[in-house]
Amino acid sequence: MRMDDNSPGPLARYIDVLELIAAFPGAITLADVSSILELPKTTAHRLLKGLVRSGLAVEREAGRTYSVGDRLTRLLHASADDGWYASLAGPHIHALTEASTETCYLARLVGARVLVAVSHSPDVRWRGYVQPGIEMPVNAAATGKAIMAFQSKELIAEALSNELPKPTVNSHTSRKWIEQEFAKVRRLGYATCVGEIDEGLAALAVPVVLSDGSVLQSVGMTGPLERIMNKQMEDRLAALRDTAAALSKALSRGMVVNGRR
């Protein structure tokens, strides 16, 4: 039997289920999906399992309830253009730069890569290092480490499956070393880059934890090694954490608005 070109097709059913999960995250059950969408339980179960396998949904409470998956959250943020980030994050990055007199920037997760989204520098000579769109290697850059350390094992494996750069003698490409570095980032709550991209430069970065607990961005600060890694390091980290907290609120709200477009 030939399907009518105007029929919604199987994809529409997946979207219907996903919309329900998004409306009632952590509360919607198989029985709810079956009842609300008037589907046989076997069909509802198949659709839910398909969304879970694709990473668009996750099971909670041992499979009793469902929430939106990390893949969908990353997709929403990856689709946000730089203007979206510049509008919400720009003032916070600018204020951090003015207060610290160092180059500061926001990085974001795009697929399995970390890219600079917004940057501001008090000195034109430093702008080349962190221009928007530049990739931050997850094995060397502080902002790359600060984001990737909080991702799933699968996404970390994907990121590390690519050829990793080794721009200086201080850079590391060993999988064991990188995983130990990520564990250190999770324990300390911040990441460093000490001469790993340029022997004369250092950077600090902290994750931006969104309202749903995900980490899709990080905020960083870079400059001459002897200036970043000195006695004022704790003050710099405190300023980065304050900025990350402010960015969390702004970007979490922005994600909701962006999802309506």
pLDDT at 260 over 70: no
In a domain, 191, yes or no: yes
Residue 106: both structure tokens together: 């926001």
Digit-coded pLDDT (tens) for 153-210: 999 999 999 889 999 999 999 999 999 999 999 999 999 999 999 999 999 999 999 9
pLDDT, residue 13, reads: 84
Strand order in the sheet with 28-29: 28-29, 65-68, 57-60
The residues facing 120 across adjacent strands are 104
Number of domains in the chain: 2
Do residue 41 and residue 108 come from a single domain? no
64 and 87 both lie in a single domain: no
On the CB side of 153, CA atoms within 13 Å amount to: 0
Helix, strand, coil percentages in the chain from 3-state DSSP, rounded to 5 = 50, 20, 30
Specify whether 81 is located in the same domain as 143: yes
Q: Are residues 82 and 38 in the same domain?
A: no
Which residues, including other chains, have CB under 8 Å from residue 221's CB and lie 6 or more apart? 96, 100, 102, 103, 104, 105, 203, 204, 205, 228, 236, 239, 240
Amino acid at 148: M
Domain boundary among 19, 50, 68: 68
Tell me, what CATH number does 38's domain have?
1.10.10.10
161 with 233, same domain: the answer is yes
Specify if 3 maps to a domain. no
pTM above 0.85, yes or no: no
Task: Identify the H or E element spanning 185.
Answer: helix 175-188
**Residue 185 in domain:** yes
50-103 confidence digits (pLDDT tens): 998 888 888 887 778 888 877 776 666 655 555 667 778 888 999 999 999 999
For the packed helices 233-258 and 70-78, what is the interaxial angle rounded to 10 degrees? 90
Residue 110's φ and ψ, nearest 5 degrees, are -130, 105
Domain encompassing residue 34: 9-68
Position 11 scores a pLDDT of 82
Are both 168 and 242 inside the same structural domain?
yes
- Residue-wise pLDDT tens digits, 2-27: 444 444 567 888 888 888 887 777 78
